[in-house]
Amino acid sequence: MSTQASNEARVIPLDPQTSPSGNSGANRTPQRPAGAPQTPAPKEPLWRNLVGDVLRRERLAQDRTLKDVAEAARISLPYLSELERGRKEASSEVLASAAQALGLGLADLLSLAQNELPRYTRTRVSRGRTSPTAQYNGFCLAA
């Protein structure tokens, strides 16, 4: 006794609002056509990049050089440069020192970095829904 297996693919929806039977509800998300190229989701920003952007922006707004701020913060010039470019993860002591050299408190620096997040999260839309990070109005810092 032989049985033939069907070559048809069956669609099992992961989202209960969409069904393979064709019932389209008002909340149904549009389906990507078969064979359409999948667009990669934007990457989440790294905290070190956000902080580095703020450090550089504040330094340039004050018309100060890397050398000047590095000396005031007692940080090596190459290390401060790497912090600004988001290449290094700084300790809270180093961040506080760099912030103080720019006339900011650590809380000011972190608050300015937090304000950078919406610029990244507003663009993160996946299949008609915003990303989970766009739903929260706050930030979390973990070491």
Q: Where are the domains of the chain?
A: 47-116
Question: How many CB atoms sit inside 10 A of residue 19's CB?
Answer: 14
Nearest to 132 by CA among 124, 120, 140: 124
Question: Is the pLDDT higher at 132 or at 11?
Answer: 11
Residue 138 pLDDT greater than 50, yes or no: yes
pTM: 0.58
Question: How many CB atoms sit inside 10 A of residue 57's CB?
Answer: 14
Nearest to 112 by CA among 65, 66, 67, 50: 50
Confidence of residue 126 (pLDDT cuts 50, 70, 90): very low
- Report the pLDDT value the prediction gives residue 141, as an integer from 0 to 100: 59
**Residue 5, exposed/middle/buried by CB under 10 A (0-12, 13-18, 19+)?**
exposed
Residue 5 pLDDT greater than 80, yes or no: no
- Report the pLDDT value the prediction gives residue 39, as an integer from 0 to 100: 65
Residue 134 pLDDT greater than 50, yes or no: no
The dotted CATH code for 47-116 is 1.10.260.40
> What is the tens place of the pLDDT at every residue in 16-73?
555 455 554 455 555 666 666 676 666 788 999 999 999 999 999 999 999 999 999 9
Name 130's bridge partners. Answer: 125
Measured torsion, CA atoms of residues 63, 54, 111, 121, in degrees rounded to the nearest 10: 140
- Report the pLDDT value the prediction gives residue 108, as an integer from 0 to 100: 96
Confidence of residue 78 (pLDDT cuts 50, 70, 90): very high
The whole-number average pLDDT for the span 131-141 is 52
- Report the pLDDT value the prediction gives residue 77, as an integer from 0 to 100: 97
The whole-number average pLDDT for the span 83-111 is 96
CA atoms within 13 A on the CB side of 75: 26
Name 125's bridge partners. Answer: 130
